[in-house]
Amino acid sequence: MRAKKGDLDRVQVDALQELCNIGMGRATTALAQMVGKTIFFNVPQVTKAGIKTIPGLIGRPEEIVVGIYLRFHGPIEGNILFIFPRESALLLRKIMTGNDSNELIFDEYQTSLLKELGNILAGSYLTVMENLLGMRLIQSAPWFAFDLTGAIIDPILIQLGKDTDQVVVIKAEFFVREDEALRGKFYLLPEPNSVALLLKALGIGA
């Protein structure tokens, strides 16, 4: 099928996949140190799709999950989102706090710990981006929610949709092989006007 104007070509997709591959290597190493388990991740996926189709790429809109969201600023800007299924969020809380309750209720201390987890993972990933792209990136404070997947992703898409109806989504799933309950998803959604600069910094024209 012939690519539509504005689509990413194979070279661009490969470059963004490799960037994510290296970034996830650093981030999952940080997570492994926090939880005391070896973390693996799948080959990253890069998609450019219409705003309206993005919720379907993130997950089931009606599923209750834990989301940790950050923005980053600099020469390029974008959004980082971590999604943890209910069982994974409960297991992470148990590992980090000793609380083995099955209720998806987080007090201020537990919320703070999970936000810091997202902060560390995002910081590890962005450090790789800074080194590879040769630019300074500043991350925001993390935002935490346990809600429907759709409710978590909608505000991000509303912001991105102000300038375009097409969004680049870079996704990677990470997991513990010996414990299927511990898994999560990473999403990088660059601002539309940052995609060309991101590719240029990788040495590839947009």
Q: How confident is the model at residue 6 (pLDDT cuts 50, 70, 90)?
A: low
Stretch 175-204: mean pLDDT? 89
**Which amino acid appears at position 40 of this protein?**
F
CB 72 within 8 A of CB 82: no
User: Contact at 8 Å (CB) between 118 and 142?
Assistant: yes
8 Å CB contact between 67 and 83: yes
pLDDT 10s digits, 91-125: 888 888 888 888 877 888 888 989 999 999 999 99
How crowded is residue 56: how many other Cβ atoms within 10 Å of its Cβ?
Answer: 11
Q: Where are the domains of the chain?
A: 10-201
- The string of pLDDT tens digits covering residues 20-35 is 999 999 999 999 998 8
Ranking 49-53, 60-64, 139-143 by mean pLDDT, the lowest is 60-64
pTM of the model: 0.91
Q: What is the pLDDT of residue 173?
A: 94
Higher pLDDT, 136 or 178: 136
- Taking residues 34-56, what's their average pLDDT? 90
Confidence of residue 4 (pLDDT cuts 50, 70, 90): very low
Angle at 28 between CA 25 and CA 29, to 5 degrees: 80
Domain 10-201 CATH (choose: 3.40.1550.10, 3.40.50.2300, 3.30.930.10, 3.40.109.10): 3.40.1550.10
Measure CA 94 to chain center.
Answer: 22
Identify the pLDDT of residue 206.
53
% residues pLDDT > 70 (the chain): 96
Please check the confidence at residue 2 and state whether its pLDDT lies above 50: no
Phi and psi, residue 16, nearest 5°: -70, -35
